[in-house]
Amino acid sequence: MNDASHDPSLIERAAAATPAGVSRRVRGLSDRAIAWIFIAPTILLLLAINIFPLIWTIWLSFTNYRANRPNAPIRDIGTDNYHAILTDPDIWAAMQATAHFVVWTILLQTLIGFGLAWLINRKFRGHGLWTTVILIPMMLSPAVVGNFWKFLFEPQIGLFNYATAFVARVDPSSFEMLGSVKLAPWSIVIVDTWMWTPYVMLICLAGLRSIPDYLYEAAEVDRASSWRQFWSITLPLALPFIMLAVLFRAIENFRMFDMVNLLTSGGPGSTTELASITLKREAFEKWRTGFSSAFAIILFVTVFGLANIYVKALNRVKQR
Amino acid sequence: MSPSSAHSVVEPGRWSRRVAAVIVVAYALITMIPLLWIFLTGLKTPPDSISYPPKLLFTPSLEGYCNLFTTRSRQTTEYLDSLPPAASVCDDIARKRNMVIAGPSNFVPRFVNSLIIAFGSTALSVLLGAAAAYGFSRFKVPLKDDLMFFILSTRMMPPIAVAIPIYLMYRELGLSDTKLGMILLYTAVNVSLAVWLLKGFIDEIPREYEEAAMIDGYTRLQAIFRVVLPQATTGIVATAIFCLIFAWNEYAFAVLLTSGEAQTAPPFIPIIIGEGGQDWPAVAAGTTIVLIPILVFTIVLRKHLLRGITFGAVRK
C-alpha cells in the first residue's frame, strides 16, 4: 500500500512523535495510548490470576511444601518431585487411564459426529431444528449432568442398565457400569461421547458446508463414483475441520475432571482415575503440594504444546 | 428446495434424504432420553424414583422440589398429631412421611451465588474482553499473535493445576470462599474467550465506519461508543451468553475453592442426601432448575454456537 494516509505504521509513528499533551488536545487520547489502555487490564488480570500462580507453582514444584502445614519449614529438594513422578506407578496408571479415555472418546465422537454431520448435510426437511436438539447436551453442566448419569447407571433401577438389559436380553442386575473394574472405564467414555459428539458434529458440518458444489459437479461430469467422491473430495476437504475438533476434544479430555469426578471419583480402585483426579487427590487430599505442583507443571507443558498445535489448526481453518 | 426446481447433480436423492432424516431424528431422540429422565425423576416420589422396573407412568408429586428447598426432621406420630393442619403442600408431603419441615435448605443461597458469580464475571469479562478485542483488532500491537496465543492458552490449562496455586494465593489474600474471588477467577478464564470471540466480531465491522466518524470530528473514543459498539451488539450478546454458560456450569474451581459462603449450585446439587442415600428426586429437581436457563440460552445462541466453540475462528 503506497497511499501514505493508509499506512498504519506511519500514522503510529506520527502519533508517537506528537507530544502527548498536544495529541490529547487535538484528538483526545492518542491511538497508542488507547491501545494500551484497552489491552493492559486483560493482560494484567491474566498475569495476576494465571502467570503469577504459574511461577509460584514452578517454584513449589522444587520444594517439599505441604499446604496443610503452612508453618513447617520449606525445603528445596531440587528435581526430586519430578523424579518421583516419572517413576511413580500410580501416575503412570493415571496416564494410562487418561490415554484410554482420550483415545476412545475421540474415536467414537469423530466417527459418530462426522457421520451425523454427513447425514445432516443432506438437508432433509427440519434438519435445522434437529441439529439444535442434538446440540443441547454439550451446553449443559458436565458436573450436574454427569452426577445424574450415576443414577442412570444404577444396577436394576437405573434406566441405562434396564434399557441395555432389555435390548441385550440379559438380567439388568447382572452388570454394574460404575462398580466393575471392566466396565467403569467404558461408562465414562459413554457419558463423554453422549455429551460431546454434538461438538464434533457441529464443526464437521461447517467443514462439509465449506466444500464448494462445483467440485462435486465436476466429479459427476467425470463420472466419479460417490465412493470415490467421498474419499477424494469430501474427506480431504473436511479434514482440517475434523482435526480442529479432534485437537480441541483431546485438550478438553486430557484435562477432564468434573464429569468423571462425580461419576466415579476415579473408582473402582483407580481404574478411572484420570490425571486431573490423581492431581486433585495429591494436592487436596494428601496435601503433597510440592509433588502435585510438579505434576501440574508436567500437565501444563503437555496442554501448552497441544494448544500451540490447536491455534495453528485454527488459523488454517480460518483461511478457508 | 421446491420439487419443481431444476435437478442438480449434487442434490441428494429423495430416499437418501429420508434415510438420513430417520437416522438423525432417532439419534436426537435417544440423546434426549437422559434429559427427559431428569425431568421426570424430579416429579417422582423417592420410592417411585427407585422402583424396579423404572416407572414411566407415575402420579406426579412435588416431593422432589419440596425436598430440594427444605430440610426436614423426623417426628413421632404423637407429635405430628398434636400439630395444627399442614400449612403448605410441602408441609403436607412431609407429614405423610412422618416428618416436619425444619427450615429452608441451602439451595436458594447457592442458586443466588451462582447468579451473582455468573453475572458478575460475565460483565467483567465482556468489558475487559471488548476493550482488548478492539485494541487487537484495530491497532498495531507489538507481539500481537503471541499475546493472542497467550490469552487463549490460559483457558486451556487443567483447572486442578490452576487451582493449586490459586488456593494458596487466595488463602494469603483472604479471597478463599468469597464471591469476589470466584468472580475474578471466572473472569480470568472467560476473558480469553471474550477477547477471541469479540475480536472476530469487531474484525467484521469495516474500519471505514470509525474513520468516517473521526473525519467528522469524533474522537476515537466517541467513534467507538457511537459507531463500533452499536454494530457489535449481536457479538457482545452472544459472547456474554457464552461467558454466562461457562460460569454457570463450572464445577472444578467451585468445588475446590468454595465451601459455604460462595458455593455455587453445581457443587451443591450432588451432595443433596435424603434418608438412606441420595435423594434422587430432589437432585433431579435441582438439576432441572439449573439446566433450564442453559436450554433457553442454547436455543437463543444456536446461530452463534459454532463461533463460540471455536473461539470465533469458524463462522459458517
**Of B105, B128, B143, which residue constitutes the final position of a domain?**
B105
Best residue of B164, B183, B204, B271 to probe chain A, by most A CBs closer than 10 Å: B164
Q: Distance between CA A253 and CA B132 in Å, rounded?
A: 29
Q: Which chain A residue's Cα is nearest to B252?
A: A258
Sign of torsion, CA A73 A77 A78 A82? negative
CB contact under 8 A, A67 and B136: no
Q: Give yes or no: residues B100 and B133 share one domain.
A: no
Q: What is the pLDDT of residue A17?
A: 55
What chain A residue is nearest to B161 in terms of C-alpha separation? Answer: A296
CA B116 vs. chain centroid, Å, equals: 13
Q: Kindly tell me if the per-residue pLDDT of B88 is higher than 50.
A: yes
Give this prediction's pTM.
Answer: 0.88
Within this chain, do residues B86 and B217 fall inside the same structural domain, yes or no? no
Is the same domain home to B119 and B212?
Answer: yes
Best B173, B314, B316 member to test A by mutation, with max A CBs in 10 Å, is: B314
Span A89-99, average pLDDT: 93
- A218-257 pLDDT tens trace: 998 999 888 899 999 999 999 989 999 999 999 999 999 9
Instruction: Say if residue B290's pLDDT is above 50.
Output: yes
Domain boundary at B105, B140, B155, which?
Answer: B105
Q: What is the chain B residue with the closest CA to A32? A: B139
Residue B278 has pLDDT above 90, yes or no: no
- Lowest-pLDDT choice from A22-26, B46-50, B51-55, B144-148: A22-26
What is the per-residue pLDDT for A116?
96
Whether B259 and B136 share a structural domain: yes
Band (pLDDT 50/70/90 cuts) for residue A24 is: very low
**For B181-225, what is each residue's pLDDT tens digit?**
999 999 999 999 999 999 999 999 999 998 899 888 888 888 899
CB contact under 8 A, A28 and B20: no
Residue B271 DSSP code: G
State pLDDT tens for residues A178-220: 988 999 999 999 999 999 999 999 999 999 999 999 999 999 8
Name residues 62-121 of chain B within 8 A of A (Cβ): none
Q: Is the pLDDT of residue A72 over 90?
A: no
Mean pLDDT, chain B, integer: 89
| Set of chain B residues whose Cβ sits within 8 Å of the Cβ of A145 | 34, 38, 287, 291
> Residue B313 has what DSSP assignment?
-
Cβ–Cβ < 8 Å for A181, A93:
no
Residue contact B20–A119, C-beta within 8 A: yes
- The pLDDT score that the predictor gives to residue A230 is 92
Closest CA to B178 of B129, B246, B120, B241: B120
Report the candidate in A20, A41, A44 with the shortest Cα–Cα distance to residue A32: A20
Quick: pLDDT tens for B12-28.
788 889 999 999 999 99
Confidence of residue A315 (pLDDT cuts 50, 70, 90): confident
B250 and B142 housed in the same domain: yes
pLDDT band at residue A28, thresholds of 50, 70 and 90? Answer: low
The C-alpha R_g of chain B, in whole angstroms, comes to: 26
Instruction: Give contacts of B314 with chain A, Cβ < 8 Å.
Output: 203, 206, 241, 244, 317-318
**Contact assignment for A56 to B291 by CB distance below 8 Å:** no
Whether B152 shows a pLDDT value over 60: the answer reads yes
pLDDT digit string, tens, across residues B7-16: 455 677 888 8
Same domain, B87 and B126: no
Residues of B in Cβ contact (< 8 Å) with A199: 309
**Percentage of residues in chain B having pLDDT higher than 70:** 96
**Among B28, B149, B310, whose Cβ lies nearest the Cβ of A244?**
B310
- State whether residue A284 sits within 8 Å of chain B by CB: yes
B140/A159 CB distance under 8 A: no
List the single residue in A with minimal CA-CA distance to B145: A311
* Structural domain range at position B70: 46-105
Partner A contacted by B58 (CB < 8 A): no
Residue A303's alpha-carbon distances to A245, B102, B267, in angstroms, are 15, 48, 26
Is B204 in the same domain as B94? no
- Residue B76 maps to a domain: yes
Residue percentage of chain A with pLDDT more than 70: 90
Partner-chain contact B34 A149, CB within 8 Å: yes
Q: Determine the average pLDDT of the residues in B36-61.
A: 89
A66 in contact with chain B, both atoms CB, cutoff 8 A? no
B115 & B249 share domain: yes
Domain residue extents for chain A: 4-60, 80-318
Q: Does A43 touch chain B (CB under 8 A)?
A: yes
Lowest mean per-residue pLDDT among A306-315, B34-43, B288-297: A306-315
- Are both B195 and B93 inside the same structural domain? no
Residue B242 touches partner A, C-beta closer than 8 Å: no
What distance lies between CA B246 and its chain's CA centroid? 5
User: What's A80-318's CATH class?
Assistant: mainly alpha
Q: Are residues B252 and B148 in the same domain?
A: yes
Task: Calculate ∠ Cα A30-A36-A37, nearest 5°.
Answer: 85
List the CATH number of the domain containing B140. Answer: 1.10.3720.10
pLDDT band at A15 (very low <50, low <70, confident <90, very high): low
pLDDT digits (tens, 9 = 90+) for A278-294: 999 999 999 999 999 99
User: Please, what's the b/e burial string for A300-319 (b: 16 or more CB within 10 A of its CB; e: otherwise)?
Assistant: bebbeebbeebbebbeebee
Q: Taking CB atoms and an 8 Å limit, are A41 and B131 in contact across chains?
A: yes
State pLDDT tens for residues B234-256: 999 999 999 999 999 999 999 99
A220 at the B interface (CB within 8 A)?
yes
Question: Number of structural domains, chain B?
Answer: 2
Among B17, B27, B158, the residue with its CB nearest the CB of A134 is B27
Chain B partners within 8 Å of A172 (Cβ): 52-53
B229: left (phi over 0), alpha (psi -120 to 50) or beta: alpha
Residues B159 and B238 in one domain: yes
pLDDT category at A76 given cuts 50, 70, 90 is confident
Supply the DSSP string of A7-59, one letter for each residue: -HHHHHHHHHHS-HHHHHHHHSS-HHHHHHHHHHHHHHHHIIIIIHHHHHHHH
For residue B284, give how far its alpha carbon lies from the nearest alpha carbon of chain A (Å): 7
Residue B246 covered by a domain: yes
Residues B147 and B230 grouped into a single domain = yes
Of A196-205, B32-41, B172-181, B276-285, least confident by mean pLDDT is B276-285
Residue A7: pLDDT above 90? Answer: no
Whether the per-residue pLDDT at B35 is higher than 80: the answer is yes
Q: Is A231 on the interface with B (CB under 8 A)?
A: no
